[in-house]
A and B are shown apart, each in its own frame.
Chain A
Amino acid sequence: MTMKRTLLFLTFLPALWLTVAAQPASTGPMPVAAPDLLLDARRAAYLARAQETLQWYVDSIKPDNPATFNAGQIAAKLALRQDAAQVSARVVEIMKGPQSQDMFWMFPWTAISFLGRDQLTPEAKAAIRDAWRTYFPMRGDTENHWAMYYTSLYLMTELYPDDPASSWFNGKSSAENRAEARDYLLHWMDLATTIGQGEFNPTHYIGEYAIPMLYLTTWARDPEMRIRGHMKLDWIFADLAENSLDGMLRGPNARTDDTSVIQRWFALATYFNWQCFGNTAPPPGYGGFGIYFAVAAANYEVPEVIHRIATDRGHDYLQKDLKRTRRRWRYSDVLVAPVYKTNYMRRDYAVGSCQGGLIDPIQSHVWDVTWAVPDPRGVHNTMFSAHPYSSSQVMQTYFTEFPDHMIELLASQGKPSYDVPDKILGGSPFEKVFQDLDTVIALYDIPAGTRFPRINGYFSKDLVNVTEDKSGWIFAQGGNTYLAYRPLAAYHWEHLLGYKQVTSTSGYKWERVDRGEQGDKLLVSPHLKNGTIVQAASVSEFKDFAAFQAAIRALPLEFSLEPVPVVKMKSLRGQEIVFAYDAAPKVNGKKIDYSKWKLFEGPHLNAEKGSRRLAITHGRLERVLDFNTLTITDRVKPE
């Protein structure tokens, strides 16, 4: 079925990971953010990281095993300008076989075509070119698919600008394909810069946007497309920098997965933080797709203002963004719905959320508190709750499929958690969330008869001092962060079972793994009217853990669950919050009006809805990306 399309991070990665012994940056000590922000030092470190990725790929080739010499290794060798004859021969060999993987095929071979312009033999170039005639890649059904598909098609038809329709897989000429690709890419950029990014803050799919935009920046002949690619790449990385805590992209995420949602570091997004900012270790295999950024990374320079946003956690900040959902084909009043996203960032932790509901049918993550740790590898440094929602009709809202097979196939396609009661990934139409700074209230009003009538609260194996207080609060500490979690209905504890892939010849199979008391815990609250309140604070704000607990206990809190959940409380930050499931939240008596939400609003990113213009700011540094005038304007604001 057409739904899923994840791929390949998870598919590529284990194979790659096993092929070579170690990655210098991934397995070594955690990098220390360089204090030197001067251009030459940042640039040298950035290029060295790209070089490391390229070399690791080259080193992964085993001479006696052609299966280890594929598109990633070919691209790496071409980027390093090594062994053109050997690379050409391998290209010819690969092109003799059947091609597959659709747009995931298109962008690597686009990169290889450009990198190999002056290196590949005529036979190798012809073999690749002919594959664009004989192999029909599907366009896909998500924005990330289309970004890859149309960027690749645009660039390849610029590389071969006058070829006839008979020479392309879809029977359209170079000129026709180029015009269609350009039209779509402009349409997509217009959407993203006026009503918000779809598939926002994805832990893996960021690569499927960043890599195509890098390729536009690098290889587009049309200067307009080149600058558009550059501006969109800046836009994506500014958003990544703003939302990452020490190199970990945290929630909310339009799309993530069962692993990344709890081990926040384990994501392709981490590769981009490492590559661009050097403030974390890269994931195994450089995230699988990192190689395809690395091959052209030298053609992009991370703006200093974005670098500073990514690495400076010296000041707390609150950022509010407008994003949008995936397309809803049916059973919805709107084609896309707005997503109101809040991001509160501090040195020790970050709190993020959107308003709840359904963003993407299968992989969204609505809210969390994520804390900083010295080394995030293997650490589950996050806390949240979720309603495990599963619905064929909702799947049909987003996918153009018949109802009955989708859930079953999801599991066999590598998304085992969609229809399990203990799932922690995904949104629910019966969850509403409000965040004020580092307080999150999630309310649930689940109709009777709903599959999985329970709330799952995620309690990491890496929490310490988990204390069930008689006040009803559960206190805990993660890193230098104190946490207070308040379930609004009775609960019990379960072990959160993991997923272990098992050998199978018919799709993805798995078994559940119980790690016992050493594993994560699930707070299970099997009540339809429900809620969760979480507050966070830095350890440094209190004399000790007991003082934090006392402060929380002392705060006024009233709640009721009938007829709908309602919370009235005072937060640690002194805010009077009223949040009812069926009404707009109020802070200090003032109603939150989402209709006034801007595209970006905060100390670092600012854009009006519909403006096509983003101002990226850090201190006195400012970069303005203006898609109306296609200009990038840097300035240093006067003191």
Chain B
Amino acid sequence: MITSTPLPRLGLGLAAGLLGFLLAGTVSVAATHDLYLCGAFNNGSRVMGSKDGSSNGVFVRTAPGTFSHVGLNYPLAISATFDPRDPRVFYVACLSGVLRTLDGGATWRLVTGWDETEVKSIAVDPQEPDTVYAGLPDGLVVSRDRGKTWQRAERGLPERGKYTQVVQADRVKRGRVLIGCETGIYLTEDAAKTWRRVLATQETVDDIQQSPHDPKVWLSVTQSAGALISRDGGLTWQKIAGVPSEKALYNVAFDARNAQRLAIASWTYGLLASEDGGMTWTPRVTGLPEKSRVWRTAIDPDNGDLYVAVFGQGLFVSSDFGLTWRPGGMEGSSIQTFTFVPKSGR
């Protein structure tokens, strides 16, 4: 395993110096999460074979607006997650497969083989954290041993139409997972032994998220079917009025502190915000460098700050839910994923 810069907040038994660094870099006294990003600084570096000297891959927030590169230098890191029992165990979905660290980022291993490529999304079952799901352009693989071995788990998925953009494990029910594919949303309730379609779409489902307030409430955003809500754990879905559907929506975020606040990122529509639980939506782009090209959004579970990643322009933060924006660091980058990792347990 290659030795690399450790994920600073994931290591147990931290040296005193590192602990000091962590304390000094605390984002806020009340912060209970670390924020990790998957991103790249040079869009050109995402072209195979291009010359590039920048550091890309996983970044961790060390102070407001300041991020440090950790782990491997890899331009196409797409999605990241962690083992809730042991946050030293971190998984990164990337172009080459799934990268895993067991030691807080000191060493890494590409745990998948040649047949798993361009991994779009990765999820750990919070109720059974040895089980890891990875969404692929040609389906889905599951590992039952923390990424050591992987098996295809596609029974019930169509032979064609299983391009999987997003994987989300239910945080309260073991073995229950929703995936967003090119033909809709599929559900397993037996840890990927079987799947069934719960929503049909014409084009790709780009994101699915479970409410932190009510585990039965899920939101999804799609390429051409707009935004949808499920109030029965993902079994049935209703289109959300007021969210445009002509162009793609990229991701959706809940505010863990305020159930009324929701945000959607879109290349075309910019940042769409709702402060009434999704009843009404308004664009919140004034002050952003562009009115559109919002690639991802997230809401800080510690303080409700709203983040957007503008493609190629880095992060922007709002403390008034999008009414005003300020630069949030990572200037010039494109961010693929926000991952908030609880500090508890470390």
Report A's interface with B, CB cutoff 8 A: 1-2, 4-5, 7-8, 97-98, 100-105, 133-136, 138-142, 145-146, 150, 165-166, 168-172, 180, 183-184, 187, 329-335, 393, 396, 400, 402-405, 409, 412-413, 507
Contacts and interface: CB of A to CB of B under 8 A. Distances in A.
B48 A2 contact: yes
Contacts of A134: 2
B26 interface: no
Nearest to A332: B160
Nearest to B96: A139
6 contacts: A135-B73, A166-B2, A170-B96, A331-B182, A403-B223, A413-B44
B143 interface: no
Prevailing SS type, chain A contact patch: loop
A7 B47 contact: yes
Given A4-B48, A404-B267, A171 B1 contact: yes
Contacts of B45: 100
B109 A170 contact: yes
A166 B1 contact: yes
Nearest to A5: B48
A631 B229 CA distance: 61
Contact of A133 (B2, B76, B163, B204): B2
A180 B114 contact: yes
Contacts of B206: 402
Contacts of B268: 404
Contacts of B247: 404
Given A404-B248, A413-B44, A165 B118 contact: no
Interface stretch (B50-58, B59-67, B124-132, B320-328): B50-58
A334 B95 contact: no
B75 interface: yes
Contacts of B52: 100
Most chain A CB neighbours (cut-off 10 Å) among B1, B52, B182, B250: B1
Given A141-B117, A150-B114, A170-B2, A405 B267 contact: yes
B118 A141 contact: yes
Contact of A170 (B48, B51, B73, B110): B110
Nearest to A8: B49
Given A2-B95, A2-B118, A103-B49, 17 more contacts: A1-B47, A2-B47, A7-B48, A98-B53, A102-B48, A104-B48, A133-B2, A134-B2, A139-B96, A139-B97, A140-B95, A165-B109, A171-B110, A402-B206, A403-B223, A413-B44, A507-B44
A298 B138 CA distance: 41
Nearest to B268: A404
Given A5-B47, A136-B2, A403-B248, A396 B204 contact: yes
A333 B160 contact: yes
B160 A405 contact: no
6 closest A-B pairs by beta carbon, nearest first, are A171-B109, A330-B163, A171-B1, A5-B48, A104-B49, A404-B267
Contact of A329 (B2, B95, B138): B138
Contact of A102 (B1, B49, B107, B204): B49
Contacts of B109: 165, 170-172
B120 A136 contact: no
A304 B138 CA distance: 43
A184 to B, nearest CB: 4
Contacts of B138: 329, 335
B1 to A, nearest CB: 4
B237 interface: no
Contact of B2 (A140, A169, A183, A507): A169
B304 interface: no
B48 A171 contact: no
Contact of B107 (A103, A171, A507): A171
Contacts of A133: 2
Contacts of A393: 203
A100 B50 contact: yes
B43 A1 contact: yes
Nearest to A97: B53
B23 to A, nearest CB: 30
